[in-house]
Chains A and B, each alone.
Chain A
């Protein structure tokens, strides 16, 4: 292994000091062709001045060009002097051509504005765009336009996570869970970033829907594996969400009244920039508040809300400052005769980001953020009080520098410093007044505070050897102060353009994860994040991915991904641990592997958009303390996974959409026998069933069809939409879980089923 990493580091060093093809190496490392010019700047939406991510900027008639980065910045070098046509394009926007005259060695800084265009317009992919595509090395990356995500509503709510679950290779613990199980990884192995801040519990309703309001998000990018060195700390995937900056030209808003929640978002100009604020909340608590109290038949009270806010300011042409925040809260309570409980959980994130253009080829982002996830519950059982809470607070400073060294080489490097504070408090003594001092654990009370620092460095380079071959090599180093563990994660990705419309990609990387999540996948009401301590090593994964990416027809992408993922020191919660003193008391530690193949056909443009996906995958785990040490497949493993999403715009008034999924049945553990038990003084107590192979059997397959219909009209000259959603059209009630009911004389196999057909109507107006 060490030899492999050493060889890899030599490759990395070579990449950073490679000359441009066909040019001799000099001490200036990457010489630009003599007399060429460059252009850099931002690409923005013409109506809102919102920066656009992943727009292409190319020089017509050449192979020169670039994508805009997450800040909307681009840089194109080596442009021959003279009159040139710059082509700017992006899905959902009118293609733009601008003719400019470049002087020798001239550097132009230009912000291009793009006119939004109906998605139904069939785009024509030009050769220039395809040349830019060739620079895209990152493997297993999925970009779904936010317009499509917001249109893909499940149960009346547009939900980013539920939409992502309609991608092949992304599994769920059930149809009502928003957790993402990416290629055999559990939800805690996904790095979820919103404007650069980590979100630790991105869900509402205890995991049923995600905490992100689609009105507030402008870009969603998911990397399902083999992610580059700039991302670390997680084993499986990276989900990057970018909040809207807000409209810099005029005030506008959207209000929506839905079955589960209502939303309102407002945005407008401020100074030399914009602001955005958007939120949503449920109203079950308001309805219950109108009903008379009945302690003998109490109703549970539930509410959630979330809020996104952002202010952006341009400080001259080279600097931008963004201040953004996100908060979410869920509260569940019940008060009846002699019993009362409250459960609450929520996220708070705040980030300040500064982007600075040092020069036409040097771009930096500095991000200072704080993120806190906290949850807790308290109960009063006729005077016997219990209380528990936990939180993770993370202060992060990230600084990244992106150097567009030449037309064939881009180098990115950066550092990240995190300060974590973990708090865990529990009091099961019956007296809430009886506490133990911070840092102690006693009879029935635990009051722990753990502080830790992590330091990370990364560097990665994208190098295009030729028109056909390009490579991304990176190295990430992480050091955790508490456990005094340092890790080095090499990452490597290659791209070979076999045919104009067919590219082969391969990626390999090592990934480490330091945080562990104690969670119940079916009902995540007391998720607890814990650091790795001296009793256990960090979790580790190796990814091996091979991908074929094709464009069989204009407007269609068809990708095939083969993957193998090897996992070591992964965790499984020990649900019976009550006296935990360290991480090994809370979790069982084991290994796993996941492998499979995914097929993904996507159409992003035109009247008809959507995708078809199929994944065939295997997931296995091995834990010394589980299943007698024998290998087993996790509960969420599904062998077959077929997804289809279609959105069709009939005309300006009507839009229809459908989503369908078919998956192999979830795994469950069957029982092989049972007997009646008793505790001292009892004749009989519980019926105890004896399990066979853990998760050795499959439930019937899951399948579901959802339909959406949008009717666009105007109300008082304001554009409005009436949205009809039918969840589970043919009322297929999948099995949520199966258990053996041993409370009666003879056990019965009992299936708890999910929701039947559920039609909902919602209304939306823009102003």
Chain B
């Protein structure tokens, strides 16, 4: 009888143990690649890093893989990238042969990374043509006094050249100076800049959060006052992305504040590789958002 009881208890425990798993602590290292080529700009800010244990604080210095052999190939050339450290952090870049090389439009680039251990990571992108605004953004924009009923202003409207084969664009609005405001006025003042307060951003980080991104499936949009996080000087850019960049944007921005990597949205292959090798062309302009009140 005791045996039967024991058997029952063991069976019950075995059954209940199938009801829950402890939080796992497995760490599987991946090789993260971030390589986005911008048409007309040098090849730079190519990042290659080891993913970190979820129990650890992320340190780009510790994570960066500095000893890889990184090349970008075109149909006619092989571009050997070099490692360097800048104010922005670690990166691979291409200094050029005689003059600084700039990414060409409508060109196919192939990424080839050979890790120190011999592993290979690859990716391919074809750069879009050059995008350009078809409507000039005014030098100044006066933020509405009535913040309750914010209505759009035709001055905010953006339009750009449609590029063949591209239906999805990406908008970036960045505050260029979160500190100074009055010095850009005429006549200049001592007034400091400040963030635009919004009820849904009460908990947002204040001073390092300067950029708003938006997915735009059109080439002509009315714009929104909510695009600006700060008053003052702004850079408004529209990216014409290749399909890899569009997917990566969805990866980062459609997955909530804490996105999870989705292999279908990545564009690199090979040795434990996650990440992106993509390209875009970009058009940018600046404007100044005047405060509605001090």
Contact = CB atoms under 8 A, between A and B. Distances in A.
Interface of A: 295-298, 336-339, 381-385, 428-431, 443-444, 575-576, 578-579, 625, 628, 639-640, 663-665, 669-692, 697-701, 739-743, 745-747, 749
Contacts of B60: 676, 684
Contacts of A691: 260-261
Given A640-B15, A747-B54, A383 B20 contact: no
Interface string B79-106: 0000000001100000000000000000
25 contacts: A339-B226, A383-B151, A383-B153, A384-B226, A575-B254, A576-B250, A576-B254, A576-B265, A578-B215, A639-B18, A672-B54, A673-B52, A674-B52, A675-B32, A676-B58, A677-B32, A678-B34, A679-B36, A679-B252, A683-B88, A686-B258, A688-B260, A691-B261, A741-B258, A746-B58
Interface string B242-272: 0000010111111101111111110000000
> Considering the complex of A and B, which 9 residue pairs feature the smallest CB-CB distances, nearest first?
A383-B152, A444-B218, A384-B224, A673-B51, A672-B28, A382-B150, A338-B150, A701-B19, A664-B19
A384 B217 contact: no
A143 B205 CA distance: 55
Interface stretch (B69-77, B110-118, B166-174, B185-193): B166-174
A736 to B, nearest CB: 15
B49 to A, nearest CB: 6
A443 B222 CA distance: 14
Nearest to B158: A430
Interface in B181-219: 198-200, 211, 213, 215-219
Interface string B135-156: 0000000000001101111001
A575 B198 CA distance: 28
A382 B23 contact: no
B89 A683 contact: yes
B26 A640 contact: no
B198 A688 contact: no
Contacts of B280: 680
Nearest to A684: B60
B286 interface: no
B249 to A, nearest CB: 7
Contacts of A675: 30, 32, 49-52, 58, 63
A296 B200 CA distance: 9
Contact of A443 (B167, B200, B265): B167
Given A384-B222, A578-B215, A689-B54, 6 more contacts: A337-B150, A383-B151, A628-B263, A640-B16, A680-B280, A690-B51
A672 B219 CA distance: 40
B119 interface: no
Contact of B217 (A296, A381, A385, A443): A443
A502 B88 CA distance: 77
B7 interface: no
Interface in B1-59: 15-16, 18-21, 23-24, 26-30, 32, 34, 36, 38, 45, 47, 49-58
Contacts of B49: 675
Nearest to B210: A682
Tell which of A384, A443, A640, A680 has the most Cβ of chain B within 10 Å.
Answer: A680
B220 interface: yes
Contact of B19 (A381, A382, A640, A677): A640
Contacts of A681: 172, 174, 211, 237
Nearest to B224: A384
Nearest to A746: B57
B133 interface: no
A688 B30 CA distance: 12
Contacts of B227: 384
Size band of the B side of the interface? 35 or more
Contacts of B236: none
Given A576-B254, A678-B34, A430 B223 contact: yes
A578 B217 contact: yes
B199 A296 contact: yes
Contacts of B174: 681
Given A382-B224, A681-B211, A338 B198 contact: yes
Contacts of B36: 679-680
Contact of A384 (B47, B152, B199): B152
B150 A671 contact: no
A576 B148 contact: no
B179 interface: no
A579 B168 contact: yes
Given A339-B200, A578-B250, A675-B63, A689 B19 contact: no
Contacts of A692: 24, 26, 28
B54 A677 contact: no
Contacts of B45: 680
A295 B148 contact: yes
B19 A673 contact: no
Nearest to B89: A683
A383 B24 contact: no
A749 B261 CA distance: 16
A687 B53 CA distance: 12
Contact of B34 (A336, A672, A677, A743): A677
Contacts of B63: 675
A534 B249 CA distance: 30
B261 A337 contact: no
Contacts of A674: 51-52, 54, 58
Contact of A673 (B54, B167, B222, B247): B54
Contacts of B19: 639-640, 663-665, 698, 700-701
Contact of A677 (B24, B89, B252): B252
A701 B20 contact: yes
B289 interface: no
A701 B263 contact: no
Tell which of B15, B54, B237 has the most Cβ of chain A within 10 Å.
Answer: B54
A663 B247 CA distance: 37
B238 interface: no
A420 to B, nearest CB: 27
B264 A625 contact: yes
B254 A689 contact: no
B30 A697 contact: no
A664 B20 contact: yes
Given A578-B217, A675-B58, A739 B258 contact: yes
Nearest to B56: A746
A744 to B, nearest CB: 9
Nearest to A701: B19
B131 interface: no
A669 to B, nearest CB: 7
A665 B257 CA distance: 25
A674 B28 CA distance: 10
Contacts of B226: 338-339, 381-382, 384
A678 B275 CA distance: 11
Contact of A698 (B15, B21, B237): B21
Contacts of B54: 671-674, 689, 740, 747, 749
Contacts of B282: 680
A673 B24 contact: no
Contact of A688 (B162, B200, B252): B252
A747 B27 CA distance: 13
Given A428-B218, A576-B247, A690-B28, A337 B254 contact: no
Nearest to A680: B36
Nearest to B157: A430
Contact of A429 (B88, B156, B199, B218): B218
Contacts of A683: 88-89
B222 A431 contact: yes
Nearest to A743: B257
A444 B216 contact: yes
Contacts of B211: 681-682
B221 A686 contact: no
B150 A742 contact: no
B91 to A, nearest CB: 11
Given A383-B224, A430-B218, A639-B19, A686 B89 contact: no
Given A337-B199, A428-B217, A689-B260, A383 B252 contact: no
